[in-house]
Amino acid sequence: MAYAICTFCGNVCDDVEFDVNTQKGKKLCALGLAKFREKERIKSPMVDGKEVSYEEAIEKAVEILVSAKKPLLYGWASTVNEAIRYGVLLTEKVRGVYDQCASVCHAPGTLAVIEEGIPGGSLGAVKNRADMVIFWGSNPLEAHPRHPTRYSVMAKGFLIKNRKDRKVVVVDVRKTKSASMADKFIQIRPGYDYAIISALRALAKGEDIEADEVGGVPKEELAELAEEMKSAKYGVIFYGLGVTQSRGRDRNVENAVKLIQLLNRYTRWIIWPMRGHYNVVGAGEVPAWEVGYQYGIDFSRGYPRFSPAEFSAVEMLLRRDCDAMLVVSSDPAAHFPRKAVEHMKKIPVIQIDPFPNMTTLLSNVVIPSAVAGIEAEGNVYRMDGIVLRVKKLVDSQYWSDEKILHEMLKIVEEKLEG
Amino acid sequence: MIEVEIISGRTIDQGKTVEEKLSDAYFKAVSYCEINEEDFRKLGLKDGDRVKVKTEFGEVVVFARVGEVPKGVVFIPMGPYANQVIADDTDGTGMPRFKGVRGTVEKTDESVKSVKELLGVE
């Protein structure tokens, strides 16, 4: 049994153990166990379905990227910072567009932060201090199973000794599994997050609202929630995709940040997104420290420009704006809207990933990679921005994402200079 | 046929199989739709039946099951089946509307496509 750091979700649990020989683990949740378990792999690098060497596949991939007018380089949430860095440099060299999984996940939160900033805190602060925890449009029991026990609900902290010291509220449109662990479940109508947050802002300020109910929630229930929030000593809203993927998107988050700013006039509150992939934070932070932006970054003019309306992957594909695509540790063919995937079928696609998925089915060049956290090491950002170094537990025949992308970058530089 | 609002999202089974997308387990984890019990009865459905979900963005056939959703709301796990019908407009944010899309649900005899058939590749 070796100490490991889990590379499934944004919790990046650093207290787990796994034995690659017996395939048994300790402290891993169902998602973590599935992550570490052996499964079907992409066996060899391939070009147009024919098995080739790593060198040949990389050569072909570089040829596609260099000859494309506007390649889209997408993915990055399930690899390490070192690989992402080479990805950003590669995008700049080929004058392409860098976008990452957050653009169909938590990027609306990034837009809200640009407008309002974020009153945030670490998971450690929540564990030790938070006496009120609200999960809004997030379902940790199915998406981040150990979040409640490690940080937010049952976690024993310095000031918060046990579950009884905490009030837990779940706000959602359906009664999720997470609703069962809450003291209070507030069921709202789909698409009414913004209106409900506005009502809470008014009520917290001591103003009345004219409506008897907002988004399916009676005024009295909202007034009670506003009062409970004001009387908490340290509160946190953990918001999920229920907020970012429904009507209002970035404006929902912006409004929620304003509510938190208001509550900070009375007491201490923070707000934080429940980030999905183990290094989706890195997929935004690395380009931010390299070129200033988190996603939707175009290098076609030789310098970085940010515009999600133009340079996010879905918009690029819907407008048929890109003529080649590199997909790293992601599966847009499964996770993008149908019409966006249609364009992927018409352009050359290069995939770097450990596992065969729907994107593999339409890729011209497939380059298998080592699984970070099991076969390769590197630095990743936990959902609250804490950097952890994931471990290599076993040797593998597969190249790491870092090595593959470094090789690609070297050959691109040679070709462009030559 | 009933009018519904469609939402998608994660489930534990979707998460457990997300790195095995070409497996039967993943197919089972993402190719269904949860319907409120009353709506389920209104559509004359029983376990194992299929429904066709339609929106202005597309249509898809999935298995039907009763779930903890309000009347008039259906839930499809995030993935290729949900993505046939969710809204691809991003309102300039880059983010499609994966949750809260109006559409219809009706009982159907058509079969549920495999992920390969859905993608339209060999």
Claim to verify: residue A363 and residue A392 sit in the same structural domain = yes
| Mean of pLDDT values over A166-188 | 97
Question: Which CATH number is A371's domain given?
Answer: 3.40.50.740
CATH number of the domain that B56 lies in? 2.40.40.20
Residue B118 lies in a domain: no
Residue-wise pLDDT for A35-82, tens only, equals 999 999 999 999 999 999 999 999 999 999 999 999 999 999 999 999
Which of A348, A284, A334, A328 minimizes the C-alpha distance to A70?
A348
Q: Residue B99: is its pLDDT beyond 90?
A: yes
Where a domain ends, among A238, A273, A308? A273
B-chain residues within 8 Å CB-CB of A356? 21-22
Q: Does residue A21 lie within any of the structural domains?
A: no
Residue A118 sits in the same domain as residue A203: yes
B residues 62-121 lying closer than 8 A (beta carbon) to A = 67-70, 73, 75, 78-80, 83-84, 86-88, 90-100, 115-116, 119-121
Same domain, A115 and A249: yes
Does residue B122 belong to any structural domain of this protein? no
Give the pLDDT of residue A215.
98
Residue A406 lies in a domain: yes
Confidence of residue B122 (pLDDT cuts 50, 70, 90): confident
Domain that holds residue A96: 41-103+278-417
Where among A273, A294, A313 does a domain terminate?
A273
Same domain, A116 and A244: yes
Chain A: nearest CA to B48, how far in angstroms? 23
User: Using the beta-carbon criterion (under 8 Å), do A358 and B119 form an inter-chain contact?
Assistant: yes
Question: Are A268 and A125 in a shared domain?
Answer: yes
Identify whether A173 is part of a domain.
yes
Which residues, in sequence order, are CB contacts of A187 under 8 Å at separation 6+?
A172, A173, A174, A175, A216, A217, B70
Number of domains in chain B: 1
- Give yes or no for residue A343 having a pLDDT over 80: yes
Residue A328 pairs in a beta bridge with: A75, A352
- The total number of structural domains in chain A stands at 2
pLDDT of residue A213: 98
Contacts of A114 (CB under 8 A, 6+ apart): none
A161 Cα to chain B: minimum distance (Å):
29
pLDDT range class, residue B38, cuts 50, 70, 90: very high
Name the residue in chain B with its Cα closest to that of A49.
B122
Q: Do A361 and B121 touch (CB under 8 A)?
A: yes
Residues A249 and A363 reside in one and the same domain: no
Domain of residue B38 covers: 2-111
Q: Is residue B66 part of a domain?
A: yes
Chain A residues touching B12 at Cβ < 8 A: 30-31, 141-142, 145, 177
Q: Are residues A253 and A283 in the same domain?
A: no
Residue A242 and residue A337 in one domain: no
One-letter amino acid for residue A108 of the chain: P
Residue A17 lies in a domain: no
β-sheet bridge partners, residue A72: A97, A325
pLDDT > 70: percent of chain A: 100
The per-residue pLDDT for A418 is: 75
Structural domain includes residue A33: no
* A161 touches B: beta carbon within 8 Å: no
Question: Does residue A87 form part of some domain?
Answer: yes
Q: Helix or strand or coil: residue A282?
A: helix
Q: Closest Cα of chain B to A104: distance in Å?
A: 5
pLDDT tens digit sequence for A226-265: 999 999 999 999 999 999 999 999 999 999 999 999 999 9
Pair (A126, A168) in one structural domain: yes
Question: Is A82 in the same domain as A114?
Answer: no
Q: Could you tell me how far CA B20 lies from the centroid of its own chain?
A: 19
Residues 20-49 of B with CB under 8 A from A: 20-23
Distances (CA, A) of A79 to A154, A327, A329: 30, 12, 7
B8, B58, B100 ranked by CB distance to A338: nearest? B58
Task: Using alpha carbons, list the distances in angstroms from residue A73 to A87, A99, A332, A412, B108.
Answer: 8, 6, 12, 14, 40
Q: Is A286 inside a domain boundary? A: yes
Residue A104 at interface with chain B, using a CB cutoff of 8 Å: yes
> A302 and A243 in one domain?
no
Question: Do the Cβ atoms of B10 and A314 come within 8 Å?
Answer: no
Q: Report which of A285, A365, A277 is spatially closest to residue A329, judged by C-alpha positions.
A: A277
Model pLDDT for residues A103-149, shown as the tens digit of each residue: 999 999 999 999 999 999 999 999 999 999 999 999 999 999 999 99
